[in-house]
Every structure is written in structure tokens, then in C-alpha cells.
Chain A
């Protein structure tokens, strides 16, 4: 029993880290623009395809030892950069021209972008690469090679702890720490927080709000790209709809934590991962969406602005 609990705790934590990384992108953009970027999950998905393509090009499935880790590091960096650039491009091409339009316009456009990106995922999946199964079935899940050794680090213990678990949790924590330092200790972070509270006043300080928005999309997209590699290493699959489901869960996590609140997104992501793991184990996987969204509804009834969200905007 205790073993099962520990195992589910671990599973929940690792899944929760992925949700948290994606949720951060939703929440940071919302914090600055009060806009839900519904295409964010699909940036995550495309980054997964990008990472798988890189793995294939580098021949990573055959690499070992130091060379494997060095190249894996490279994949992480490049996939993050890819996610960042895609996210920024979407903003510049689609959302920015609508900045002064009524709020519904960018929102509906984001849903449109989401479909466009999913179709790009389908086209990408049709590429005649071995890792895409020759490209014959674009919609089929593509298997992402298990690059890391699957030996149990705990030896013969009933609890399985693999290197990929350690890597997922460790790398996610490291990235979140960097993000935390960026937001709290740097001039850019200070400008981001000021812009989130009062963009007009921020402009009066000489802050170029447009550049702050660009930086936010870059950071959010980078986190999504990073999350995609972590997810692919862990679940060993990428497919063109993976952004839809994970994006929806991550968005829920951001709302649970208090949308716009950065620590809230991490808390919400971890909570969602844990609840999901335990509900799958003790209630049944078929109940997963019902349990998760049921909890969301109950929570929002009692705390409409999420766990860490401020109950109202300070008006003074």
C-alpha cells in the first residue's frame, strides 16, 4: 500500500511538472495581456515534433554515455528556442494586430491558431522519416525513443525510480528556479511585473510595453518547448493532438492556482498531476476528467480567483 502511494506520488509529481511548465506560459501571458493564448498547448505539441525530428537527425537513439547527455542537452535548448520563436511569431502575426480590438477577437483568433498549428503537426507527421513511421499515417502517435536507461535506481525496491524521473523533476525545478530569478531579480522581470499591474503607468516609467510582451511570449514559448522534450522523454510519444489535452489540463492548472499568478501555476500544475495520479489509481482512469474538472468546479465555487489569485484587483 505504502509502495503504491509512493509510486503514485512520484508519477503525480513528474506529470505535474509538465503541467506546471505549460501552465506558466498561459499564466504569464494572461498576467500581462489578460488574454488566454489557446494556441499555447499547440506550441508545446509542435516543439515535440521538432524535438523528435532533431533526435532523428542527430541519430540520438544510438548515442550513449556522455555524447547522449550532451546531445540531449542540445535538444532541450533547441526545442526551447523553437517554442520561444514560434510563440513570438504567433503574437507578432496574429495577436499584436488585434491588441486594441475587443477582447473576444484575439481569443477567437487563438482558437483558430490552435487549429492551424495542429494541421502543421499533421503535415509534419507526414514527413518521410523513420521516426515518423515513414510518414504514412500523419495522425498516428509517433513513438519517441526511450533514450534514457530504464534501470531502477532503487535496485530491487518495489518502487520504480528511473533516471528519467529524476531528470524530469530536476530539470523542471532548475528551469523554474531560473524563471523565478528572472522575474524577481532582473530589470526585465521588474518591468514584467509592473506591466502586469498597470501597463499605462509602466509606459510612464519608460518601459517599452511591446518589448515586455514579446519577452513574455518568448519565455512562455521556451517553457512550452522545454516541457515538450521532458514530456516526450517521459511518455515516449508525440502526436498532433497532444497539445490539446495537455494544454487544457495545464490551463486548468493555471486557473486552479490563480490565473496570472506565477507560483500559482506551479502549485496548480503539481496539484493537478497528483490528483490525476491518485484518481487513476484509486478511482479509475475512466473517471479522470470527471474527477479533475469536478474538483476545479468545487474549488472555483469557494475560491473564484484560484488558490493564490488575489480576490480583487487592488483599487486605491
Chain B
């Protein structure tokens, strides 16, 4: 479904991705783990088009994404729920969700997805008239995920959905990710919470200072002593 082939990307003069390659098959949950600064977020921003790599290839369902601007990549069926949530703080919860459906015109489908999101995250329904900037961190994360769902993507890119959230809320978000995947959305998940991510992942890649150093199924990497030592906090 998604093929990332040997991309090199730089922030200014500093190259941060040294030829990263990865694949996502339809229906999978693929996770990308690694330490701070390993290049996880940059990989996602290259896929969604916010950042353009210097070289390499990115193709989605056979279509070359590199020449497309970010807003056209959304039309291809890729949603990116960015790091730090990035909800629109001075717009209401309902309007943030409406912005997620910006590219859609199917009123009935939008209504249906909205109902689905409100039933998955009842707190958003309660606060639909409230400005997004006044929500708590966890609620903003739910809103960011909901907003990305409103795009009704075939591939959902999630960047650190658990960052800074209470464990109960993290569990809630991960349950929703699993549920979405079960309903047919393919997921590429970037996480620092490696244990949790590997548990739900069909496959995973380990990124270290801009290169993929390991890949395998979630279970394989969970059992890998090097991964355990470096990312799972086991001695």
C-alpha cells in the first residue's frame, strides 16, 4: 500500500534521514519506534508531504507522492495526525471536526463519521461548542485523532498519540486505534511508548539516528534482547 524507498531528508544543512525504507501493507498496523531525534516524525512528515525529502521515493497505492503538495496527498487517502496534536485552538471542537471533513462532500457519510467519533469519545460531544484550546491534553489528543478520522483515510499516520497523557487515556486511544484498524483503516504509528506500540503492531521498524536498524513482527521485536535493552527499559 505504502512504499518508502531510501529517503534522505534534511533540516537545513543537517541530514536527519539517511536512506529510510519501509513498507505498509493494506490492513496492517505498522509501528515505528526509536529514541528522540531518530527521525520518526520526519519520516511521517515526508509521507504526508509537509517535508520534502532530498532523494528517494514514496509511493502510495502505486502513486508517486513526492511531486504532490500536502493538501493533495490528503485527497489520496492519507491522514496525518501530527505530533503535539495541533488542534485549532481558537475554533470549537465541532469546527475542528468539520475541518477534518474539509475535503468531503458526502453529507450523510460525514454525519455518520461524526456520530461514530462522538460515541468513541463522548467527552467531545459534551464539549463540542467549547474552544479546542480550552480542552485538556488528553481531550485534545482525542480531538486530533477524531479530526484525522473525519478525513476517512485509508492510511492513518499517528505521531506519538500517547505523549504526555495519563495511562487510562493512553489505553483509550490505543483501543480506538485497534478498533479503527479492525474496521479497515491501515495504521502507521510512531511511538515512544515502544512496549504498547509493539503489542498492537503487525510489524515494526526500529529507527536509530536516521536509519532503520531492525524490523520484524511486533512479537519478534518484543522478544529481541537488543530492543528490550534499548527501548523497553529491561536490563
CB neighbours (8 Å) of A201 from chain B are 82, 86-88
Classify the interface of chain A: helix, strand, loop or mixed: helix
Alpha-carbon gap, A191 to B96, bound state (A) = 10
Q: Are B89 and A208 in contact (CB under 8 A)?
A: no
Question: What is the 8 Å Cβ interface bit string for chain A, positions 197-240, against chain B (1 contact, 0 not)?
Answer: 11011111111110000000000000000000000000000000
Per the 8 Å Cβ criterion, residues 122-154 of B in contact with A are 133, 137, 140, 147, 151
Give which listed residue, B71, B87, B88, contacts A203 with CB less than 8 A.
Answer: B71
Q: Are A316 and B85 in contact (CB under 8 A)?
A: yes
Per the 8 Å Cβ criterion, residues 86-124 of A in contact with B are none
Alpha-carbon gap, A197 to B50, bound state (A) = 16
Alpha-carbon gap, A316 to B103, bound state (A) = 26
Interface size class of A (residues with CB under 8 A): 20 to 34
Which of B5-13, B52-60, B73-81, B180-188 contacts its partner?
A: B73-81
Query: A194 contacts the other chain (Cβ, under 8 Å)?
Result: yes
CB neighbours (8 Å) of B137 from chain A are 316
B174 to chain A, nearest CB (A): 22
Q: A191-B102, A316-B85, A316-B137 are in contact. Are A204 and B90 (CB under 8 A)?
A: no
The chain B residue with its CB closest to the CB of A191 is B102
CB neighbours (8 Å) of B79 from chain A are 204
Q: Are B86 and A190 in contact (CB under 8 A)?
A: no
Per the 8 Å Cβ criterion, residues 299-316 of A in contact with B are 310, 314, 316
Query: A164 contacts the other chain (Cβ, under 8 Å)?
Result: no
Q: A204-B80, A314-B133 are in contact. Are A194 and B91 (CB under 8 A)?
A: yes
Q: Are B74 and A198 in contact (CB under 8 A)?
A: no
Q: Are A314 and B90 in contact (CB under 8 A)?
A: yes
CB neighbours (8 Å) of A209 from chain B are 71
A-B contact pairs, 16 of them (CB 8 A): A187-B102, A191-B102, A194-B88, A194-B91, A194-B99, A200-B50, A201-B82, A201-B87, A203-B50, A204-B50, A204-B82, A205-B100, A205-B151, A206-B102, A206-B103, A314-B133
* Given A203-B50, A316-B89, 11 more pairs with CB closer than 8 A: A190-B95, A190-B99, A191-B99, A191-B102, A194-B99, A200-B82, A201-B87, A205-B103, A205-B151, A206-B75, A207-B99
